[in-house]
Structure 1
Amino acid sequence: MYEELYAPLPDRNLYWERLGMEPPTGEPTRELLDRMILAHQCRIPFENLDACDFRRPISLGIPDIFQKVIVDKRGGYCFELNSLFDALLQETGFKTMPCLGRSLKDRGYVYPILHRGIMVNLDGERYLAEVGYGGPTPACAIPLVDGAELDSRGQRFRVELHENGWWHLIYLGSIAKLNAAAERGEEVPPTPAYAILDVPAALTDFVPLSYFCSTHPDSVFTQWRMVNLRTDDGNISITDDAFTRVTPEGKETKRVESDDEFRALLSEHFGIELPA
């Protein structure tokens, strides 16, 4: 049962093809890590359709995730996408550490640990490599340096080290919005995104967490559909019955009126072809 969590990738070259990249040669570098993260976010969508629409069990075995995401050209959520990406990073020569995380959305309580993250140790520096979070996150490796700010694809983020080994990622806003606010003498309130615990986790730790996320009626993943993909100039998403496109010019949202329209949007914008 649990052995499949540690299985090798069935076809590494097919994974690189899915990312639109040539298999790299030489030693792993920060530049390569950044390119891998960006390609993953732009070509493999975050989505929870198995949990929400189809009520299907979600396997965390590497062969099963590979079949779904790489062969069948679907997407997944953090327990799937970060697991698969972690396997690719390791086979590419990166030193990684799986870790637990939680959302920092303000719901009036501390959100439970329901996120799977990846830490990378490279040339004596440590980074987060995130390809499975459905909200705002940098399209590059995130340096684990307390107080560090980084700009990524028109967005600004800050990293903060909190007590008990929790690293917080804070979304500061779009750079255009921040500059406009600064000209008016105003401030844009920061938005805490997610936190990662700086302690190694076992791959088996994620099995019960994923099971809760994909089956429990209180889980957000069973309550409404979520599909998200980074684009060249922003992102596109479907949340419940709303299709949204974000570009530097702003945000456009329209209602998805039917299942046929939903399937057409998945095919056209996310590359997902659902079976009848």
Structure 2
Amino acid sequence: MGEKLDRMGLEAYFRRIGYEGPQEATLQTLCRLHFLHPLAIAFENLDPLLQRQVKLDLASLEQKLVQGNRGGYCFEQNLLFMAALMALGFRVSGLAARVLWGRGEDAVTPRSHMLLKVELPEGTYLADVGFGGLTLTAPLRLEAGWEQATPHEIFRLDREGDMWRMRAKLGEEWRSLYRFSLDEQFLVDYEITNYFISTSPESHFLHSLMAARPTSEGRHALLNDQLKTYDLNGSYDLRMLSSGEEVVAVLRTIFGIQPTDLSGLGDVLEKKVILKQA
């Protein structure tokens, strides 16, 4: 178990995501929070890209994602969400997953992604507010083979021995996001992986700009100089960005990211991302 938000921190978190509902540990509350969180707090990797430390202690997460109007990646997003759920009395624990998205269906990958397990009277649910361009906008019941609709895509969990596989239906095709076990993980486990993916020259988080945010109408996804805006049917429009200044404007207006503490961000993005793609 990790830290939980105190009363002031919880109220600030609610303001950040626009939540005004009941403060009880119910499935209805979980569903509403799980929808609002990713719509308000974008997935992004600005700190690793700019070689800045990614801190996972709760005070740093609150300062960055809540008070600083920034986003973050899976460890930051789900640790903050976990702290909020625990403050409300939810029984929640951390899990780890091996990412398969963009890789082969049987690829062997490290446990580089965090998700949450939530125990409710209705059963066990999975929560994950930090998987980039396909971040869940609703919790999923931990039940094999059941097609589960969310405000965005349809998802399915498949049992594979002691492991589980999460799939999303894109058009008529089922695509694997990741595989995971139910072994509980702790902050020390995430800190090791976080250090690697935020500092290693082999990590793609150091070489490509990524940002993602679902909306009520679809999703926005930014990869370097390519901005895709998806509708709820999966169709998208592509916009090519031509300068670091334009990227910064998109981060602010479309993704709601306010990187006021990152001086010279436009110049750095132009050198490392935009011009590299030319």
TM-score, length basis structure 2: 0.87
Query: Is 1:113–2:111 an aligned residue pair?
Result: yes
Deviates more, 1:188-197 or 1:36-45: 188-197
In 2, Cα distance between equivalents of 1:251 and 1:98: 33
Aligned with 1:60 (options 52, 56, 59):
56
Instruction: Say what the alpha-carbon RMSD is for the aligned residues.
Output: 1.7
In 1, Cα distance between equivalents of 2:28 and 2:144: 22
In structure 1, list runs of 5 or more residues that go unmatched. Answer: 178-187
In 2, Cα distance between equivalents of 1:237 and 1:208: 27
Q: Which residue of 2 aligns with 1:86?
A: 82
In structure 2, list runs of 5 or more residues that go unmatched. Answer: 264-278
Query: Is 1:241–2:237 an aligned residue pair?
Result: no
- Counterparts of 1:217-256 in structure 2, within 5 Å, are 217-248=201-232, 250-256=235-241
- Give the partner amino acid of 2:125: Y
Deviation at 1:201, TM superposition (A): 1.1
- Counterparts of 1:1-276 in structure 2, within 5 Å, are 6=3, 8-9=5-6, 11-22=9-20, 24-25=22-23, 27-52=24-49, 54-105=50-101, 107-108=103-104, 109-123=107-121, 125-164=123-162, 166-173=163-170, 177=171, 188-248=172-232, 250-275=235-260, 276=263
Q: 1:137 to 1:64 in 2, by over 3 A?
A: closer
SS at match of 2:138: coil
In 1, Cα distance between equivalents of 2:155 and 2:196: 30
Deviation per CA, 1:224-257: give whole Å up to 9, x if none.
Answer: 1110000111001211111111114721111111
In 2, Cα distance between equivalents of 1:169 and 1:272: 28
SS at match of 1:228: strand
In 2, Cα distance between equivalents of 1:127 and 1:218: 33
- Give the partner amino acid of 1:203: L
Q: Aligned pairs, how many? A: 256
Deviation at 1:154, TM superposition (A): 4.4
Deviation per CA, 1:144-178: give whole Å up to 9, x if none.
Answer: 001111112242211111122x22111122xxx4x
